[in-house]
Amino acid sequence: MALQIEQFTCSSDNFGVLLHDSRSGQTALIDAPEEHSILEAVERTGWTPSLILITHHHGDHVKANLALKERFGLKIIGPKAEAATIPGIDETVEEGSPLDFAGHRIRVIATPGHTAGHVSYHLPEASIAFTGDTLFALGCGRLFECSAAVMFSSLQKLAELPPQTRVYCGHEYTLSNARFALSVDPANTALQERAAEVESLREDGKPTLPTTIGAELATNPFLRWHDPAIRRHLGMEAATDAEVFAEIRRRKDNF
């Protein structure tokens, strides 16, 4: 695989990601949170982006669109349902739209929940997924435009990706997510170990991303609706998976 990734912090807790194909020399940017951090990353890597893949329309993901378009003349692709609120968008995608980057197939997965049109991008051959503000390390996005049931079915789709899939997310929220996760899944030893690891990474100022689907399945309460210990902890042994998810989301909102 000729794909390389540069992940970097934008603003306080957003991530920018440059995806570079060394064979063709092409570069794509995943979301456009902050112009100057992106320009620094472009400078550092020498990778000039020709494409931005947008996950959703929130300001902290599209803020640099127009400035980068002006500077690099790049193409902006984003979710069809949010096209009206994504500055500079050239092409729209939805679930299953044919899409590729430098010969690498990209599966567009509709993952509404945080916003109604949110999409995630999965590169199956490279085993990489960009999940924006849908799936975070040890967490999931807040429900701004959809019900818990909608987010639940989006997370179900992501949970079915191969466990080795490397997951890049929109934000560094892992430390506070870990504290919440321990409150609903206190006896999970994999989670305890991961929380300690996250704490020491953050103490050293290091990112906790990317994660993997496998790590999330073992430790992220928002993907563990089936787990007997969590259900017992919540007193929801007989509830549906969607109900368990909704209760965990509700608790996180009030944590």
- Span from 84-92, 99-107, 130-138, 191-199 in contact with Fe ion (CB under 5 A): 130-138
Identify what 210 binds: Zn ion, Fe ion, none; CB under 5 to 8 Å per kind.
none
Which residues have CB under 8 Å from 139's CB, separation 6+? 173, 174, 177, 180, 181, 220, 222, 252
Strands 75-79 and 49-53, bridge-based pairing: parallel
Site for Fe ion in 164-223 (CB under 5 A): 170
Q: For residue 5, how many other CB atoms are within 10 A of its CB? A: 16
C-beta of 133 vs 247, nearer to Zn ion: 133
Give the range of 35-43, 54-62, 100-108, 146-154 binding Fe ion by CB under 5 A: 54-62
Write down the least CB distance from residue 142 to Zn ion, Å. Answer: 8
CB nearer to Zn ion: give 74 or 169: 169
SS3 74: coil
Near Fe ion by CB under 5 A, which window of 53-61, 68-76, 104-112, 201-209? 53-61
| 60 sits near Fe ion (criterion: CB under 5 A) | yes
SS3 116: coil
Where do the DSSP E strands lie in 80-210?
A: 91-93, 99-101, 104-110, 119-123, 128-130, 135-136, 139-140, 166-168
Question: Are the C-beta atoms of residues 95 and 118 closer than 8 Å to each other?
Answer: no
Residue 61's nearest CA partner among 20, 106, 17 is 17
**Least distance to Zn ion from the beta carbon of 118, Å?**
8
How far apart are CB 53 and Zn ion at their closest, in Å? 15
Q: For the residues of 26-46, what is the DSSP string, one character each?
A: EEEEE----HHHHHHHHHHHT
Q: Which is nearer to Fe ion, 72 or 136 (CB)?
A: 136
In the region spanning residues 112 to 171, those forming contacts with Zn ion, defined by CB under 5 A, are 133
Binding to Zn ion in span 191-250, by CB under 5 A: none
Question: How many residues contact Fe ion, by CB under 5 A?
Answer: 3
* d(C-alpha 205, C-alpha 251), whole Å: 28
Answer with the entry of Zn ion, Fe ion, none that 82 interacts with (C-beta below 5 to 8 A by kind): none
Count the helix, strand and coil residues of the chain and give each as a percent rounded to the nearest 5: 40, 25, 40
Give, as ranges, the residues between 57 and 86 that touch Zn ion (CB under 5 A). 58
Q: Which is nearer to Fe ion, 81 or 182 (CB)?
A: 81
Minimum Å gap between C-beta 229 and Fe ion is 31
Residues that bind Fe ion (CB under 5 A): 60, 133, 170
